[in-house]
Amino acid sequence: MPDFSIGVDLGGTNLRIAAVSASGELLEKVTLGTKLALGRDHVIDEMCEAIQRLSRKYKATGSFLGAGIGVPGLIDLQTGMMRKAANLPGWENYPARAEIERRLSASVVLENDARVATFGEQWLGAARGVPNVAMLTLGTGIGGGIVLGGKIFHGMNGMAGEFGHVTVEPEGYPCGCGNRGCAERYASASGLVRMAREAVASGQAPSLAGAASSDAEFGAKAIYNLALQGDEPARRIFQSFGRYLGVLLAGLVNVLNLEMYVIGGGASSAWDAFAPAMFEELRERSIVYAATAPAGPLSSITLGKESAPAQTESNRERKTIITRAVLGSDAGLYGAARVSMLPR
């Protein structure tokens, strides 16, 4: 039986814990609700119990290599403290890593959730075999991660990859971070809902208004369904989403010139609705993309068919690939397990 690690995805809604073998096989996955109402310490107790149960079980047959935990927030890697934790009340400026290590009597890796998702896609997903890649996770907000030379690029404090709070509209919509016009106010599920509510308020979007009034959980999916049915206001919202995502990506391509950019997260399932506008902006706004974009009709790219050929030194003319994530929400579990397997 194989050596293994434990990967944890601690979200605001779900707490998921998985045992993953060193070769990337998912041995077992446990999904629990994140019981925020019971308090931070209760959540940590549940998580540590699940980690211990899984690690005991698989230790019988292989070496336990460590545990990695992906959390939604800005983590200072020097101190193991979360500096921002909007969806985890009580975690801000709390010595999370030290406390978890104390309970487990083992060293753990605490990482931003989008950074480990990027690492998961690079290990086993869309960017397998691609050493240098960035990923954007389009969920309620936008998460991000950069992998260089097959390792998570942390920057100085572990904060590199905060793509969601890059300004894409200087006088734009206010963000909880204190800025205006952050990318995640536009190219995320919450951005979609905000734009839809604005369209409804304008009185120019009857179908959206109908969906919003009949559906108590009116959200990105309902807007996407209307866009698929050809509803113009819903389509325009996804064009706006794609346009701002394109502005963000164009900046990243100009700054980083990586082999690949992976688009993941729940809202990425609306790819067909936003990708054409995204690619249009990219071509217009990034001189680096214009110089390195794959050849061929735009349509074949926008349909996402151009998926992830591993680029080797022997490809002389190396191209910038923009593609969809393939591991879904498991990317973070794989990535979290993986970080604890590597030398630190």
- Judged by the rule CB under 8 A, the positions of this chain that interact with a second copy are 74, 76, 78-79, 83-84, 132, 144, 146, 148, 154-163, 165-170, 177-179, 243-244, 247, 250-252, 254-259, 284-288, 290-292, 311, 316-318, 320
Cβ closer to a second copy: 148 or 326?
A: 148
- Find the shortest distance in angstroms from Cβ 179 to a second copy: 5
- Find the shortest distance in angstroms from Cβ 124 to a second copy: 22
Cβ closer to a second copy: 160 or 222?
A: 160
Cβ closer to a second copy: 26 or 288?
A: 288
- Residue 180 CB burial class (10 angstroms; 0-12, 13-18, ≥19): middle
Cβ closer to a second copy: 203 or 344?
A: 344
E-strand ranges in the chain read 4-10, 14-21, 26-33, 64-71, 74-76, 81-84, 108-112, 133-138, 142-148, 151-152, 260-264, 321-324
- Find the shortest distance in angstroms from Cβ 282 to a second copy: 11
Show the tokens assigned to 45. 């107790």
Of the candidates 50, 67, 55, 68, the residue with the CA atom closest to the CA atom of residue 112 = 68
CB atoms within 10 A of CB 2: 16
Cβ closer to a second copy: 22 or 177?
A: 177
- Find the shortest distance in angstroms from Cβ 343 to a second copy: 16
Q: State how far the Cα of 249 lies from the Cα of 243, in Å rounded to an integer.
A: 10
Inter-residue contact 253 to 279 (CB < 8 Å): no
- Find the shortest distance in angstroms from Cβ 249 to a second copy: 11
- Find the shortest distance in angstroms from Cβ 5 to a second copy: 26
Q: State how far the Cα of 241 lies from the Cα of 204, in Å rounded to an integer.
A: 18
Cβ closer to a second copy: 235 or 243?
A: 243
